[in-house]
Amino acid sequence: MMLLQTILAFAVVLGVLVIVHELGHYLVARWCGVKVLRFSVGMGKVVYSRRFGADQTEWAVSILPLGGYVKMLDARDEDLDDISPEDMKREFTRQSVWRRIAIVAAGPIANFLLAIAVFAGLYSYGIPEPAPKLRAPAEKSVAYQAGLRGNELVTSVNGEAVQIWNDLRWQMVQSVINKQPVRLEVETPVAGSPDAKNIQTVTLPVDSISPNELEGDFLGKLGIDLARPPAILGQVVPDGPAMKAGLQKGDQVLRVNGAPVADGLALVELVRASPGKSLELDLLRNGQPLSLRVVPEEVNTDGQVFGRIKVEVPMAPDMVVAHHSLFSALLKGVQKTWDTSVLTIKMVGKMIIGEVSWKNVTGPITIADYAGQTARIGWISYLSFIAFVSISLGVMNLLPIPVLDGGLLLYYAVEVLTGRPVSERFGAIAQRAGIGILMTLMLVAVFNDINRLIS
């Protein structure tokens, strides 16, 4: 069932992105007066097609499900002997260089517009997200050395206001990429004054983090983590170790074996790390101190042994829902799309010069896996994933590699500067080189995908 869901989620992502990309080419081609012969979803042999419209454009589904194309009336591919004078005027290469640029650029631009629309819709709807509230860091961590002690609410990162945890993480990703220290403005409540806030600015160096670590828990390496609720017990399971020890719902665990317990997550981690070991819990019950002893039962899962006392412990962080007006959401969508595009280009550049590992290149297997995971999490995560992949597709197609849209745009830029098109001989050589580059990238991507599956 999970495999089927992953396949369907991947098919929807791929279908939407290909159709949007090719529709960009198709609509601008029609707007420029170019005759479109075929609109295909998929590559290779056509397995299904129908003709519609005044031009009887063939709308087709092809056998290879990766990619798609818009076939226009083109002197480089078609025998034009039987073409009418009216249609000759609509042939692609007879259009001005600026019209050709518009047609080719329309595909990637359509992907960016899709991402903007998705982000704007999500920002307008309001996305429940963890608040950017910090957990107490370890004493030897970068965050602790910078002065953070926990319970701080981050209000801005490098001068950019943040409302949710993902905003904080995004700004820190960019700082790592740019090798710049992170400046956090944080506020903490003042004891005895519920409405008063203590505001301070702390600076975190990020030199210890490599761009290769961005896919992992790089925030954790700096000592940055989400604040969690206090270790106040929830429902106690009958006949479990917790009930046998006398623990009750509402008990707050303050210390375990004399060591302070920061929050519910810390308690869970201590219990999991102590199968079969006696733990002395210092509690607060109805305002009164109490000490009890509990022995976590041993649980063996896939060869891993951990402790469990069978009691609910709340660990969900504080959540906020950030709503925006339609105009504000649109601006944030544009900004998010721009920032993501710039970051993607920087990552590509750092891979070329060797600062970022080529292991970051992913292929269809990883994309399918992420599509399935985000679909299972919920529609907000799934739509966000579609937006990010749409941006990646747009950026990739703008790379100056022959056979990609970016390669064609490079040819037309040369034509604008020199006043004459690139020679057919040079174009043919460059196209073969471009195919070689793309095949190499595909092999690297598939190799990385397989490595992720078996590692």
Enzyme catalytic residues: 22
Q: Which residue has the tokens 């040079």?
A: 426
- In 3D space, the residue among 145, 146, 147, 150 whose CA is nearest the CA of residue 133 turns out to be 150
* Helices and strands: H and E segment counts in the chain: 13, 14
Contact 263, 278 (CB under 8 A): no
φ, ψ (nearest 5 deg) of residue 68 = -175, 180
**Nearest by Cα to 13 from 347, 379, 452, 451:** 379
How many whole angstroms separate alpha carbon 173 and alpha carbon 162? 14
- What b-and-e string marks burial along 437-454, b requiring 16 or more CB atoms within 10 Å of the CB? ebeebeeebbebbeeeee
C-alpha–C-alpha distance, residues 232 and 327, integer Å: 42
CA separation for the pair 191, 188 (Å, rounded): 9
Other beta carbons within 10 angstroms of residue 328's beta carbon come to 13
Question: Do the beta carbons of residue 38 and residue 51 sit within 8 Å?
Answer: no
Q: What is the rounded distance in angstroms from the CA atom of residue 443 to the CA atom of residue 437? A: 10
Residues 6+ apart with CB under 8 A from 424: none
Q: Which of 160, 162, 159, 138 lies closest to 149, judged by CA?
A: 138
146 within 8 A of 204, measured Cβ to Cβ: yes
Distance in angstroms (rounded) separating the CA atoms of residues 244 and 293? 10
